[in-house]
């Protein structure tokens, strides 16, 4: 169904929704300006993102809206008039961190009763969490989830008008609101969502339940956003999605991720393209060819294996085998010989035997990852794995985890050692926290490099000769 000007009903509704939120932003901005004129003080916000890069990018949007509403940013919670935590629920320790902070905030609000506390993100999509907060943390002012981020201005206005806890949790949303004000964390690199949600339902993962089913953005909107970021001076773009390899399948005019990648590669002024995360079951030959052919696509691939055991992979509902994963890696390395491959590995998934664990070590030895994000299995309520029999004892998990690192870390060291003596182009990201004459940046293959230089180089891509290997980072000399 369309309107007379050929815009779809959804497009019109989304445009109206964004205009309504912009009106709320202006209303709150006037209130904050009036407060400054009356008191001589500014209102500040504190914004904490927990978890994945998707959350980090969502928090850039939260920051953009809060800035538009007249708040100034502070990095100190005790200076804030508005505190927002963008939560994660992938692992239990992330949730415990939130509850710990909420306990502290209860005392903070006693001495700062006008401060507003907001919670959003994946953790808020769980009924058990919502019930806990409503009963035990009544000092929280605003609660919303992953689907209605753009409604923050309206929720603040509602809280100010009613003086009561404001809750707005949606079970699903298949619409994507574009053009939400965003403040990137860096001037030289940025993230761009190409899709939201996930359809894979891995047995251990809560993401499909808290972020919903897959929804892809239109390529025109993605390209317009990237061009806008490049015009502001950004050199590197990270394309984000829970499974970028399945991008575009549900669009009215379907497009593959490989096709999108080729279009992004044509954006004038853009120098580097990264993407994550790639699900092995959807990594096509076309995508491998696009990675090979597109000169701006970095020679780096994050390809989560999770386990090297076909038996465990079946229980995880990953839809590939040890053999098919290794064949995929061989294809990628054949097409792009200098590619660096990183991964995610879960140790101690329910039912994992010593033989299964040895299969994981076999995969590590054959692939030779450049780095790996390794985790002990964490039971998440609401996932199929949480109720599986044969839960692996904690002491067994920890023993396997230690043994895994003893195999993994020397191989990472060996892979990085190959770069000694080579010259790498490094995107300079920041000054080292240990010494202000040392700069930190990343190579095309995502390796971290430290070298001496002036902070004026931040945001530049410079040639650096690699002279030493510290396993998880390299030492370089600027040429």
Per-residue confidence band for 51, with pLDDT thresholds at 50, 70 and 90: confident
* Contact (Cβ atoms closer than 8 angstroms) between residue 437 and residue 461: no
Q: What is the pLDDT of residue 4?
A: 45
pLDDT tens figures, 8-30: 656 666 778 888 999 999 999 99
| Positive or negative torsion for Cα 448, 453, 456, 460 | negative
Mean pLDDT of 217-225: 96
Q: Answer whether residue 474 shows pLDDT above 80.
A: yes
Q: What is the pLDDT of residue 1?
A: 39
- DSSP secondary structure string, 250-286? TSSS---HHHHHHHHHT-TT--EEEEE---GGG--HH
* Contact (Cβ atoms closer than 8 angstroms) between residue 117 and residue 133: no
Q: What is the pLDDT of residue 11?
A: 66
pLDDT tens figures, 62-115: 999 999 999 999 999 999 999 999 998 877 778 888 999 999 999 899 999 999
pLDDT tens figures, 373-396: 999 998 888 899 999 999 999 999
Per-residue confidence band for 229, with pLDDT thresholds at 50, 70 and 90: very high
For the chain, percent of residues with pLDDT exceeding 70: 97
Fold of the domain built from segment(s) 423-478: OB fold (Dihydrolipoamide Acetyltransferase, E2P) (2.40.50)
CATH architecture for the domain at 9-168: 3-Layer(aba) Sandwich (3.40)
Task: Give me the chain's average pLDDT, please.
Answer: 93
| pTM for the structure as a whole | 0.86
What gap in Å lies between CA 298 and CA 445, rounded to an integer? Answer: 6
Exposed, middle or buried by CB within 10 Å (0-12, 13-18, 19+), for 55? buried
The structural domains of the chain, with segments of one domain joined by +, span 9-168, 184-288, 299-418, 423-478
Same topology, domains 184-288 and 299-418? Answer is yes
Q: Answer whether residue 318 shows pLDDT above 60.
A: yes
**Position of tokens 């089913």?**
213
What gap in Å lies between CA 95 and CA 106, rounded to an integer? Answer: 17
Mean pLDDT of 363-370: 98
Fold of the domain built from segment(s) 299-418: Transcription Regulator spoIIAA (3.30.750)
* Contact (Cβ atoms closer than 8 angstroms) between residue 305 and residue 266: no
Alpha carbon separation from 162 to 14, 159, 241 (Å, rounded): 26, 5, 37
Alpha carbon separation from 168 to 26, 139, 156 (Å, rounded): 21, 16, 11
For residue 474, what are the β-bridge partners?
Answer: 449, 469
DSSP 3-state assignment of 18? helix
| Positive or negative torsion for Cα 250, 146, 344, 223 | positive
Mean pLDDT of 312-341: 98
Residues 6+ apart with CB under 8 A from 180: 18, 61, 64, 65, 149, 150
**Position of tokens 């995929």?**
328
Q: Answer whether residue 2 shows pLDDT above 50.
A: no
pLDDT tens figures, 143-160: 999 989 999 999 999 999
Q: What is the pLDDT of residue 3?
A: 44
What gap in Å lies between CA 173 and CA 396, rounded to an integer? Answer: 41
Mean pLDDT of 271-292: 97
Q: What is the pLDDT of residue 382?
A: 86
Fold of the domain built from segment(s) 184-288: Transcription Regulator spoIIAA (3.30.750)
* Contact (Cβ atoms closer than 8 angstroms) between residue 245 and residue 259: no
Residues 6+ apart with CB under 8 A from 455: 431, 436, 439
Q: Answer whether residue 5 shows pLDDT above 70.
A: no
Q: What is the pLDDT of residue 9?
A: 59
Residues found in the chain: 479
């Amino acid at each position: 169904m369309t309107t007379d000007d050929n815009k779809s009903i959804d497009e019109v509704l989304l445009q109206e929704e964004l205009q309504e939120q912009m009106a709320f932003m202006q209303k709150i901005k006037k209130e904050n300006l009036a407060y400054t004129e009356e008191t001589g003080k500014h209102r500040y916000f504190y914004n904490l993102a927990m978890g994945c890069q998707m959350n980090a990018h969502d928090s850039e949007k939260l920051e953009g809206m809060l800035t538009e509403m007249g708040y100034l940013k502070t990095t100190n919670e005790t200076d804030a008039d508005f505190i927002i935590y963008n939560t994660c629920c992938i692992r239990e320790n992330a949730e415990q961190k939130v509850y710990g902070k909420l306990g502290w905030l209860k005392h903070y609000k006693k001495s700062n009763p006008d401060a507003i506390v907001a919670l959003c993100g994946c953790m808020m999509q769980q009924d058990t969490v919502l019930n806990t907060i409503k009963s035990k943390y009544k000092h929280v002012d605003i609660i919303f989830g992953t689907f209605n981020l753009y409604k923050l201005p309206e929720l603040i206005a509602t809280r100010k008008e009613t003086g009561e806890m404001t809750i707005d949790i949606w079970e699903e949303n298949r619409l994507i609101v574009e053009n939400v004000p965003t403040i990137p964390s860096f001037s030289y690199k940025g993230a761009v969502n190409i899709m939201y949600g996930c359809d894979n339902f891995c047995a251990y993962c809560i993401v499909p339940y808290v972020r919903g089913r897959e929804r892809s953005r239109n390529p025109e909107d993605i390209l317009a956003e990237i061009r806008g970021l490049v015009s502001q001076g950004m050199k590197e773009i990270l394309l984000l999605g829970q499974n970028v390899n399945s991008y575009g399948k549900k669009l009215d005019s379907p497009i593959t991720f490989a096709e999108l990648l080729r279009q992004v590669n044509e954006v004038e002024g853009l120098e580097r393209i990264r993407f994550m995360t790639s699900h092995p079951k959807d990594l096509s030959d076309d995508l491998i060819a696009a990675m090979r052919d597109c000169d701006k696509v970095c020679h780096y691939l994050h390809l989560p294996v999770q386990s090297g055991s076909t038996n465990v992979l079946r229980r995880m509902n990953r839809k590939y085998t040890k053999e098919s994963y290794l064949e995929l890696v061989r294809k990628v390395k054949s097409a792009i010989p200098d590619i660096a491959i990183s991964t995610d590995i879960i140790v101690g998934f329910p039912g994992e035997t010593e033989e299964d664990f040895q299969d994981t070590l076999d995969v590590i030895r054959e692939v030779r990852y450049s780095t790996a994000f390794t985790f002990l299995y964490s039971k998440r309520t609401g996932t199929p794995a949480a109720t599986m029999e044969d839960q692996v004892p904690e002491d067994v998990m920890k023993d396997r985890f230690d043994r895994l690192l003893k195999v993994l870390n020397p191989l990472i060291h060996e892979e990085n050692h190959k770069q000694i003596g080579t010259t790498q182009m490094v995107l300079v990201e920041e000054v080292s926290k240990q010494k202000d004459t040392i700069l930190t940046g990343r190579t095309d293959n995502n390796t971290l490099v430290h070298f001496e230089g002036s902070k004026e180089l931040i945001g530049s891509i410079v040639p650096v000769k690699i002279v030493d290997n510290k396993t998880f980072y390299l030492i370089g000399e600027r040429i």
